[in-house]
A and B are shown apart, each in its own frame.
Chain A
Amino acid sequence: MGLFSPWFLGGLFAVGLPVWLHLLKRSKEDPQLFPSLMFFEHRETSSVMHRRIDYLLLFLLRAAMLILLALLFAHPFIRQSSAAQRGDRLTVVAVDRSFSMRTKEGSSTRLDLAKEEAQKVLAGVPTGTKAQVVALSGILEAMTQQISDPNELRAAIAAVKEGDSRADFGVLARYLRTLREQADIPLEVHLISDLQKSAQPAGFADLRLDDGTKLVLHPIGKAAPNWSVESVNAPARLYDPKTVRINATIAGFNAPAATRNVSLILNGKTVGSKQVMVDANGRGSVEFVGLEATYGYNKCEIKIDSTDSLAADDRYVFSVERTDPKKVLFIDDGRHPKSQKFFAAALTSDPDSEFSVDVLRPEVAANANYSNYTLAVLSEPSNMPAPLTAALQRYVEQGGGLMVAVGVDSVALSKVPVMDVPIQGTKLATRSGERFWSIGDFDQNHQVLKNLDHMNGVKFYQSVTLGTDKANVLARLSDGSPLVLERRVGEGFVLAYAASFDERQNDLPYKPIYVPFVQDAVKYLGGGGVNQPVNVQVDSAVELRAGVQNQGVSAEVLDPDGNRVLSLEESASAPSAMLTKEGFYDVKTAAGRRLLVATHADRRESDLTVMEPETQELWSSTGGSVDTGKNPAKAGVNADSTPWSLAPYILVLLLLVALAESVIANRYLRSSIHTEETIKA
């Protein structure tokens, strides 16, 4: 028996409260009327001496309530024999299957050696003792439940396969802490791993193990020199195959200086080869110019010739999409020809511009083939034919971009097309008592606005007021009116500019920043919808559908081996898919877009440096010692006994006493009222 918070026993003094209530308080609260006190004398002491406790049962209940309350805060507990004393324990065998476990050690890989070691560990587990096999990579995968069947455990170890993820010992430690808390049984953990230094979490505290967890480390392999393709910098899309540049960085870990042959492989065919000098424990870079890729997605790869033990990181895959220069559809009714002139001049001012402009009237644009255009621009629409609205809506939802210049003429419309925010009217600065407005709130970090120098010096004379309930406001005028708004519709974006492209409402077209404004807006919207990266690390996710849209429409993901990643149910509802292997994933989103996503292993796995012995020892000691059950007397204090809290039982008792007190007090109260009424009657 013990108390977690013995100081709370001071609350027992509160028992004096019911004593006071029953001895003193009551008599003072109920004076009895008497005709005259001329024969009475004031004898307080003798009166109190003769007072007795009224309502004895009620008093006892109230005193019991306070005593129980004080006990509850004191948190009493009883020590009971622990699972360790009973000899119970759970053996956890953790096998590292991260990318680095592909390293060759002789004729076997590190994973093969780890599995052999795991089998040996299992052989040493006493019969009947529960054990669990887990596989460690980016996530922790439980290969079995907590079972004592040795055959099933051995089969689980044999089923552990090589992975491409990065190991994280913090994940293992977190799992063990949770397991220790839930199982309430000592753990004996065998970690069979190459114990890479890079697998340590940022803080050592994340490796902490709870008391009663014994960690046994089984190092596999040792530090070895290794070269790898650390990174590749290549455009995701290329328009001109001759001018594209591809940079690759080759890194050496624990390796001497060496010269490596670097090859660029396009769709399985080597299209270029160079040599690079890699410093000792350093890096070297190489650049390839030109890539004769075919239209569409291309599987590319940078490969080095290396004789190190980890061959898997000698290649780096990446995906490149080749497309034609993009066309921008400029929809204009021709009433303000300067708008088209200003916009086209700004967009094509760069000789290397990847965009060209096609101009169509609204009535013709409804029947245009939008798949030819990377972006549509509505210039000051004043009349929107229904087919055009429907075509633009469909286009944006499938990933297209739309830019709308909401000029003064657009007030004829009630809402901004596709964006669906209301057009509330126009305002003149001069009627507000000002000559002009300047820019107010401004999202400097947004891709469209980041090069505009806060639009300093631009004078706005007239603005169109738009509603902001559905859209994000990127910029406002000094009077608070929204100037640039953005809204995601389906997989595409709509950008609204609350002015015309010409100089009628402001002097922006005369400013140099007009050019980057138009170009950045077109680049942003013309990226083909949500800019999903196509070159990512293993364990990244690819988005399959935006929010709840396209629920029920099938999406598909094929892994590098050509297997489906998603089940039938997941393909109809999953918002994203996890990419866990190195290679090329064929992805078809729910909106119908096709992607070729290249995944590469985390290059921190290439550094085969092992954790320092001191760190290993420190980590092993955080969980304390665990008695094996053979000699319970030697078990530590913490593992010896477990405090068994009495608080829940006291709480239940307190509730019962409180209930009884309410009933008894109510009964006394009723009888008192009844007596008073009788006297009055």
Chain B
Amino acid sequence: MIQRFLDPAVLAGISSLDLVAKTVVDGFISGLHESPDFGFSQEFAEYRQYVPGDDLRHVDWNVYARTDRTYLKRFKGETNTLLTILLDTSKSMKYGSGKMEKLEYAKFLAASLVYLAHLQRDATGIVVFDEDVRNFVPPSSRQGQMMRLMHTIDAAVPGESSRTDFTKPFSHVVDFLRKRSMVVAISDFWEDPETVIKAVGPIRARGSELVLFHVLDPQEIVPKIKGSALYEDLETGARLQVSSSYAQREYKDKMEAHLEGIKTKATSAGIDYFLCDTSKPLDASLRKYLAIRTGRL
């Protein structure tokens, strides 16, 4: 099963990159992730003048002896990151015009992220959702966690009447996010951008890092229709007669506006947004993502 998700060719490319979090949260183990907080660590960060209320244990008494001033010695805190993956399994994710469905692509992406996090000993969890939370594995770095996550990812299938609803799963995540962490949402985001950002906003507000992977089939971005075709909505079952001219012009414009809307609103809300084309190799998407994050750090 691991072999299925973690294709060696994919993992070979990903292992050479560092997964560097933008925001360091409550980390304890020094490692690759840089904590956003100062704390106990080996690497010095700065001195700060004592103000009443500071913990006296952090006062650098040597400096006080030399200068008779009280300064607090601060270190860069290196810690393990809490990574939570939100995987959308709504019926629309079952679509695929080529050999790979969107859900399959999303599973590979999630598994790759889990594996990378495991290599860095990050506590990882997952939430499988559609219109409700279907499965939830809390973040943990215990032994066997990776296998549990892999089983969970593998078992994720779209339900019979499942439709996407971001409100419930994201509020669920907000409930258990007591620490600042990193949340990765993988979905096709067939929803109004305003609604999406509104649903994920509370996570960002708590100081957690949020990354949106927008998984789309190339046929969804620009449908290629010969003549006319009868389309049936995967989630609602509604049918509509569609002509090629409409798909080539008006639909394309609407889709571009939709993608731009999500991207703009996400960026303005401090959310990372990445569009994943299922026709592109998975490792390329990850590599691009990690390169971007590294560069930002």
Q: 1/0 contact trace for B196-234 toward A, CB 8 Å?
A: 000000000000000000000100100100011111111
* CB–CB B246/A36 < 8 A: no
Please give me the residue from chain A that is nearest to B236 by CB atom: A37
| Chain B residues positioned under 8 Å from A52 (CB to CB) | 227
If A40-B246, A50-B244, A50-B245 touch, whether A35 touches B230 (CB-CB below 8 Å) is no
Are B190 and A27 in touch, CB under 8 angstroms? no
Interchain nearest-CB distance for B195 vs A (Å): 12
Stretch at the interface among A41-49, A242-250, A596-604, A642-650: A41-49
B258 at the interface (CB under 8 A from A): yes
For B245, list chain A residues within 8 Å (CB). 46, 50
Interface residues of B in 111-162 (CB under 8 A from A): none
Q: How far is the CB of A594 from chain B (nearest CB, A)?
A: 93
A37 to B236 alpha-carbon distance, docked (Å): 9
Q: Which residues of A contact B254 (CB under 8 A)?
A: 39
Q: Verify B231–A42 contact, CB threshold 8 A.
A: no
- Please indicate the chain B residues that have their CB under 8 angstroms from the CB of A51 in the complex: 227-228
> B residues within 8 A CB of A44?
241
* Smallest CB separation, B142 vs chain A (Å): 37
Contacts of B243 in A (CB 8 A): 43, 46-47, 49-50
Closest to A27 in B: B230
Q: Which residues of A contact B244 (CB under 8 A)?
A: 50
Question: Is A335 at the interface (CB under 8 A from chain B)?
Answer: no
Most interface-central of A27, A31, A37, A49 (chain B CB within 10 A): A37
Cα distance A27–B239 in the bound complex, in angstroms: 12
B51 located at the interface, meaning its Cβ lies under 8 Å from any Cβ of chain A in the complex: no
Give B250-267 interface residues, CB cut-off 8 Å to A.
Answer: 250-251, 254-255, 258
How far apart are A349's CB and chain B's nearest CB, in angstroms? 101
When the two chains form their complex, are residues B241 and A35 in contact, meaning their CB atoms are under 8 A apart? no
Residues of A at under 8 Å CB distance from B? 27-28, 30-44, 46-52, 54
Q: Could you say which of B229, B230, B233, B239 contacts A36, with CB atoms under 8 Å apart?
A: B233
Considering the chains assembled together, what is the distance between the CA atoms of A50 and B242 in angstroms?
Answer: 10
Contact partners of B223 in chain A: CB under 8 A? 34
Q: For residue A41, which residues in chain B have a CB less than 8 angstroms away from its CB?
A: 240, 246, 250
Which B160-215 residues sit within 8 Å CB-CB of chain A?
188, 190
CB pair A37–B233 under 8 Å, yes or no, is yes
Is B240 touching A40 in the complex (CB atoms < 8 A)? yes
Q: Which of A27, A35, A47 contacts B95 (CB 8 A)?
A: A35
| A31-B235 in contact given A38-B190, A42-B240 (Cβ < 8 Å) | no
A53 (CB) vs chain B CBs: closest residue: B227
Asked, given contacts A27-B241, A47-B242, A50-B245, whether A33 binds B251 with beta carbons under 8 Å apart, the answer is: no
- Closest Cβ–Cβ distance, residue B189 to chain A (whole Å): 10
- Docked complex Cα distance between A46 and B235 (Å): 25
Q: A31-B231, A40-B240 are in contact. List 5 more A-B contacts (CB 8 A).
A: A27-B227, A32-B230, A33-B231, A36-B235, A42-B241
Least Cβ–Cβ distance between A368 and chain B, in angstroms:
99
Q: A50-B228, A52-B227 are in contact. Are A39 and B251 (CB under 8 A)?
A: yes
The answer on a CB contact under 8 Å between A39 and B255 is yes
CA distance A34 to B242 in the complex (A): 11
Across-interface contacts of A50 in B (CB, < 8 A): 227-228, 243-245
Identity of the chain A residue whose Cβ is nearest the Cβ of B247 in the assembled complex = A40
Name the one of A31, A49, A54 contacting B230, with C-beta atoms under 8 angstroms: A31
Interface string of B82-122 (1 = CB under 8 A from A): 00000000001101000000100000000000000000000
